[in-house]
Homo-oligomer: A and B are copies of this chain.
């Protein structure tokens, strides 16, 4: 039924309502930044893929996903009993040009990380 399905749909803020400080605050947590980086490709991923990030429980993960969604960083699509997550990459680029891409680019690692005494192959 359409009405029930609509009431179950999670809240997503409009692009124009996104606030820079809210977005930055959402990104300023290690767990949430890791989630965002895991979605860097832009493609949808099932929510269950995020289990194990930061060694947190499902309850805490759900909390972080809510913060990201309400800040406007992610979009959650409900399909049956599964949820699919995606970065709102195009929209964010439009609203804050260059910001999210630079964050994603800066994320992984800035330089080659060498183990002590080890050589990369």
Contact = CB atoms under 8 A, between A and B. Distances in A.
A41 interface: no
A106 interface: yes
A97 interface: yes
How many identical chains are in the complex?
Answer: 2
A29 B26 CA distance: 11
Majority SS at the chain A contact face:
helix
B95 A99 contact: no
Interface residues of A, number: 24
A106 B97 contact: yes
B25 A106 contact: no
Given A101-B98, A106-B99, A29 B25 contact: yes
